[in-house]
């Protein structure tokens, strides 16, 4: 089965990461200017999202969390409609009702975005059971963080998935931070993947700042879930380089640790690798950046021109 966004050209991976970064920086600046509400960004985690989502097929379903922009944009979401949603405008994916934290996009196979930590883990077995009972070939991909892995819903979800043989690819984006608490203060193990063995679930840990490594690992993991119809856990180790929620001065962050991870920026690493092996020229790199900047400028203009929902629409589409 062909992926929905085949990554045959490594420059495409770089452009997708640039788009995610530019989109989230637009939200940061918009929040600072009072044009949009503060939200949770995934700056620094772009390679993990781009690598995994490019490994998926068109009929795979995604459940994600409050740092969802990378998953949505890589899946093909329109940045203008995403920004409109963040700003509460009618042309957003959920007509301005969800903000950035609850976006769903049925046409992209994105079942939901949940700001409740671990909620996507609770729902993933139900979605996968539905896929199985209906005989649908798509697998379910559940993105969560290391914070969610420390909740009971993580263990309940893995237990059910293993017991019922559910086709779920669990993707832990271990970004080292659980809101304002470092992973080391909340986890007894170094890696979330270690916990999968207790449920008989195969697992792998990969460098989440290396987009090529993340893509290869996700392709192998997705293929195994697709073939076996059983769960698999992929842990991408990365770092959240901005605060938990905009604005956030990150006064609780060890500055030496932050500097070390900033030196491993996934976008710079990808660009440098492509320049070094001749897959990308400086002129092409500049053109990619210009194209992304233009897309974001157009997206911002679209979102700002979009009207707010009318008062009579307040309760529409709320209840089934």
Output the tens digit of pLDDT for each of the chain's 320 residues: 344 444 568 999 999 999 999 999 999 998 888 888 888 899 999 999 999 999 999 999 999 999 999 999 999 999 999 999 999 999 999 999 888 788 999 999 999 999 889 899 999 999 999 999 999 999 999 999 999 999 999 999 999 999 999 999 999 999 988 888 898 898 888 899 999 999 999 999 999 999 999 999 999 999 999 999 999 999 999 999 988 888 888 899 899 999 999 999 999 999 999 999 999 999 999 999 999 999 999 999 999 999 999 988 888 877 77
CA 133/CA 149 separation, integer angstroms:
27
CA 250/CA 51 separation, integer angstroms:
27
pLDDT confidence of residue 315: 82
**Distance from the Cα of residue 43 to its chain's centroid:** 11
pLDDT confidence of residue 189: 84
pLDDT confidence of residue 69: 94
**SS3 of 134, please?**
coil
Using an 8 Å Cβ cutoff, are 154 and 121 in contact?
Answer: yes
Q: Which two tokens stand for residue 287?
A: 């053109």
**SS3 of 231, please?**
coil
Give the residue extent of every domain in the chain.
10-304
**β-pair partners for 299:** none
pLDDT confidence of residue 37: 86
Classify burial at 254, counting beta carbons within 10 Å of its beta carbon; exposed 0-12, middle 13-18, buried 19 or more: exposed
**Distance from the Cα of residue 189 to its chain's centroid:** 23
- Asked, as a colleague might, if the bond just before 247 is cis with ω within 30 of 0, I would say yes
- Provide the pairing of β-strand 110-114 with 140-145: unpaired
Phi, psi of 86 (to 5 degrees): -60, -35
Residue 143 DSSP one-character state: E
pLDDT confidence of residue 178: 87
Using an 8 Å Cβ cutoff, are 213 and 270 in contact?
Answer: no
Please state which of the four CATH numbers 1.10.630.10, 3.40.50.880, 3.40.50.970, 3.40.50.720 is assigned to the domain occupying 10-304.
3.40.50.970
């Amino acid at each position: 089965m062909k992926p929905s966004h085949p990554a045959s050209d490594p420059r495409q991976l770089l452009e997708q990461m640039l788009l995610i970064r530019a989109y989230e920086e637009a939200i940061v600046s918009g929040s600072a200017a009072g044009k949009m509400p503060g939200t949770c960004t995934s700056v620094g985690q772009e390679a993990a999202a781009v690598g995994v989502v490019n490994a998926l097929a068109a009929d795979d379903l995604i459940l994600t969390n409050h740092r969802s922009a990378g998953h949505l944009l890589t899946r093909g979401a329109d940045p203008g409609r995403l920004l409109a949603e963040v700003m509460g405008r009618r042309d957003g994916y959920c007509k301005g009702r969800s903000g950035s934290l609850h976006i769903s996009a049925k046409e992209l196979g994105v079942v939901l975005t949940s700001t409740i930590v671990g909620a996507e883990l609770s729902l993933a077995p139900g979605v996968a059971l539905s896929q199985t009972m209906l005989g649908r070939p798509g697998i379910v991909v559940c993105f969560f963080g290391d914070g969610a892995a420390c909740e009971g819903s993580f263990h309940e979800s893995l237990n059910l998935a293993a017991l019922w043989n559910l086709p779920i690819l669990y993707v832990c984006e271990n970004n080292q931070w659980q809101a304002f608490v470092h992973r080391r203060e909340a986890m007894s193990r170094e890696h979330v993947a270690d916990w999968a063995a207790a449920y008989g679930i195969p697992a792998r840990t990969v460098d989440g700042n290396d987009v090529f490594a993340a893509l290869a690992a996700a392709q192998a993991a997705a293929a195994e879930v697709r073939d076996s119809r059983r769960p698999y856990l992929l842990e991408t180790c990365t770092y959240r380089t901005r605060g938990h929620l905009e604005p956030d001065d990150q006064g609780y962050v060890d500055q030496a640790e932050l500097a070390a991870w900033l030196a491993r920026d996934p976008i710079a690493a990808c660009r440098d690798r492509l320049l070094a092996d001749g897959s990308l020229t400086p002129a092409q790199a500049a053109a990619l950046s210009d194209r992304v900047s233009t897309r974001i400028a157009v997206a911002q203009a679209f979102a700002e021109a979009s009207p707010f929902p009318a008062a009579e629409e307040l309760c529409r589409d709320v209840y089934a």
